[in-house]
Structure formats: C-alpha cells, structure tokens
Amino acid sequence: MENTILVTGGAGFIGSNFILQWMAKERASVVNLDKLTYAGNLRNLEQISSDTRYQFVHGDIVERKLVGSLLERHGPRALVHFAAESHVDRSIRGPDDFISTNVQGTFSLLEEARAYWIGLPEGDQAAFRFLHVSTDEVYGSLGPDDAPFSETTAYAPNSPYSASKAASDHLVRAYYKTYRLPTLTTNCSNNYGPYQFPEKLIPLMILNACSGKALPVYGDGQNVRDWLFVEDHCEALRTVLERGKPGESFNIGGGEEKHNLEIVEIICSILDDLRPHDPVVPHRKLITFVKDRPGHDRRYAIDCRKIERIQGWKPRESFESGIRKTIRWYLEHEAWVNEVTSGSYRQWIESHYAT
C-alpha cells in the first residue's frame, strides 16, 4: 500500500477545501477522481495543480473498471468519498442523477474497494479506510423542542437527495457488517465557506445582494440549519480518518443553529458596512419571500458530542467569524465568481426562481 489517498469529488466545494487542507497539513499524496459536473471546478485546486503529490483524474465513480484500475495503480491507504449530487432543489426537479451518482456510484466504489482490500496483505488490510462523507439530512426534520440528531437517531429522509444519501449510508454500513470492509461514515450539518457553488443559500445571498438582485427566502424563512465552516468540517474528517474505528459513524456540526431569515439578515448587515455603494442599500430591502421548497425540512441540529469526546475535535470558527471570512472571500474572488455564474448556472437560476 502507498502513502496515498484516493479522493472522489475533490473538485467540488468540500472536496476541494479538503484537498487544499490535506496538501498543507499531511504528507500522503492525493489522487482526485472527479466527473466535473456543473459543481466541479478545477480552478478551486489551481494552487496545488502542479504539486507532484497531487494528481487529477477526470472520470465517473459509477464506472467500476476505472475505479478498480485507480485502486490497483495507486494502492491508496484510504478512499475519501465526497462525490455526489448535493443540491436538494435540483433533486426535486430531476432525481435521476442523484440515484446514479449517490447510490450506484457509492455501490461501485464499495465493490471495487472491497476487491482491492481483500487482495491487500493483512497489515495493510487493517490500516485501510473507506471514509464516506454524508449528511445530517438523512435524519429528516426536527420539531422546535426535539433533541438534536445523534448517531442513533432513526433515518427519515424527506427529499430525493437525502433518500439517495441515506441509501448510500446503508450500503456503507452493510459492507462493514457483511464483509468487514473498514468503513467510516460522517453525517455533517450545513457547510459554508470559500468555493461553495452559488446555488446554495449563503453564496447565493452574498452575490445577489451585491448586485441588487432579490434575496429569495423560501416560505416563512423560519427553517433552521446548523452551520459549520467548511475548514472545520475538513479537520473533523482528517481526525476521523486517522483515529476512527472501522464501522463507526460520527455526527459533525457547528452548534450554530440559525433560521434562514437570520442568516440573510446577518449577510445584509455585514454587506451594508463593507459595500455602502451597492445598487440597493440597506441590502435587506432586497429580501423577498418566495414559494416554499416541497417537503422542506423545518429544522436540523446536530449532537456532536461523540466526535468531541472520542476524537477531541471542536470547531475553531464561530458563525460570526466564519461568515465574515466567507463574505470577504467572495468579494475578493471576482474572477472565480464570474466564471461559475455564467452559462448553465444562469439557466438554473432563471428556471428555478421563475416558478
């Protein structure tokens, strides 16, 4: 086995943050397998693209032959699986790709990882890890007074996206229980930070506010999410990979529950200070309530005492500090923003918010 990890979906939001952090803090090489869907962007990894420890492979995780050949060729000590269709609204409009990538793709990776792992010498078998990066959405929706999701909360997914992620989690669990493939699963809350595609709440609101466009809040704006700065999520994943026991799952969250309207108002007030000459100021004048998302989960909250206790992990960033960093990042990366907000992005925004 080589001192290499195989990452899937490393050109997306969390995957690219993870690879950048990994290259700065760890010694092992990285092979990044990514299909480069609309959400994948190699610009995110420009600063490490010529590093000899990093290699990009353009391809689909569903293709078993490709996955098998990468495992054989690179002999990784771990597979870190981010690749997914990740946007709930897109899953409502067209679930097919979610089933293909999230369910079939995870199955392909598990089968090929199992074949590779069986062929490893005993010591390498014990050291190998399959880390499956999943979401808190698999647990469904909480009422206002319910206890936060723990690792033992029953699964109750409500969207095609979360159902496809739940299916993938079950497959991962089964591969540990049945074959003893050394898997780890993490279920994380909403991430925010640099390189997030602006179809998601926080970057969408930052960019719309700066250009004087409506800030579309679904329903009554009272849905609650638990926000975590992406670099804290990446640190948690490195910790779990290093110290997690096979077959375990860990919930990861920021302990920062906020309703959507509050998030949008915070963004508006920071922008009022940073950009007093934007087309519409105060920015909150742009807030517009729009039709709700079907099956919209009311509240997510994460109990992350297990990872704190067993792994000693805690988020470094508060929402207050993380959101300021994030807003600054979007303001300072105009070229990145212009590139991702052209073409198919515009079509999505036009069709989704027209109805």
Q: Mind telling me the catalytic residues?
A: 136-137, 161
User: Quick check: 198 binds ligand NAD (CB under 6 A)?
Assistant: no
Only one residue has tokens 């506010």, namely 209
Contact 153, 167 (CB under 8 A): no
Contact partner at residue 37 from ligand DAU, ligand NAD, none, CB < 5 to 8 Å by partner kind: ligand NAD
Only one residue has tokens 């723990």, namely 150
Please give the backbone phi and psi of residue 241, each rounded to the nearest 5 degrees, phi first.
Answer: -60, -40
User: Quick check: 197 binds ligand NAD (CB under 6 A)?
Assistant: yes
d(C-alpha 151, C-alpha 67), whole Å: 30
To which H or E segment does residue 259 belong? strand 257-259
Restricted to residues 41-100, the positions that interact with ligand NAD (CB under 6 A) are 60-62, 82-86
User: 120 is written with which tokens?
Assistant: 């490893």
User: Quick check: 35 binds ligand DAU (CB under 6 A)?
Assistant: no
d(C-alpha 66, C-alpha 49), whole Å: 21
Give 29 or 101: the residue with its C-beta nearer to ligand DAU: 101
For 129-192, what is the HEC assignment? EEEEEEEHHHHCCCCCCCCCECCCCCCCCCCHHHHHHHHHHHHHHHHHHHHCCCEEEEEECEEE
User: Quick check: 255 binds ligand DAU (CB under 6 A)?
Assistant: no
Give 29 or 86: the residue with its C-beta nearer to ligand NAD: 86
Contact partner at residue 253 from ligand DAU, ligand NAD, none, CB < 5 to 8 Å by partner kind: none
State the minimum distance, in angstroms, from the CB of residue 257 to ligand DAU: 12
State the minimum distance, in angstroms, from the CB of residue 204 to ligand DAU: 5
Contact partner at residue 204 from ligand NAD, ligand DAU, none, CB < 5 to 8 Å by partner kind: ligand DAU
Restricted to residues 7-26, the positions that interact with ligand DAU (CB under 6 A) are none
d(C-alpha 141, C-alpha 301), whole Å: 9
User: Quick check: 186 binds ligand DAU (CB under 6 A)?
Assistant: no
Contact 209, 323 (CB under 8 A): no
Of 7, 39, 217, 267, the one binding ligand NAD (CB under 6 A) is 39
Contact partner at residue 61 from ligand DAU, ligand NAD, none, CB < 5 to 8 Å by partner kind: ligand NAD
Contact 355, 292 (CB under 8 A): no
151: how many CB neighbours lie within 10 A of its CB?
Answer: 16
Of 91, 135, 249, 251, the one binding ligand NAD (CB under 6 A) is 135
Restricted to residues 195-214, the positions that interact with ligand DAU (CB under 6 A) are 200-201, 204
Asked if omega into 282 is within 30° of 0 (cis), the reply is: yes
User: Quick check: 300 binds ligand DAU (CB under 6 A)?
Assistant: yes
- Which part of the chain contacts ligand DAU (CB under 6 A), choosing from 90-98, 132-140, 145-153, 322-330? 132-140
The contact pattern for ligand DAU, residues 216-235, with x = CB under 6 A and - = no contact, is xxx----x-x----------
State the minimum distance, in angstroms, from the CB of residue 305 to ligand NAD: 18
Which of helix, strand or coil describes residue 197? coil
Residue type, 205: M
User: 266 is written with which tokens?
Assistant: 């915070």
Which of helix, strand or coil describes residue 242? helix
293: how many CB neighbours lie within 10 A of its CB?
Answer: 14
State the minimum distance, in angstroms, from the CB of residue 221 to ligand DAU: 7
Return residues touching ligand NAD (CB under 6 A).
8-9, 11-15, 34-37, 39-40, 60-62, 82-86, 101, 105, 133, 135, 165, 188, 190-191, 197
Binding positions for ligand DAU, rule: CB under 6 A: 86-88, 135-137, 189-190, 200-201, 204, 216-218, 223, 225, 260, 293, 300
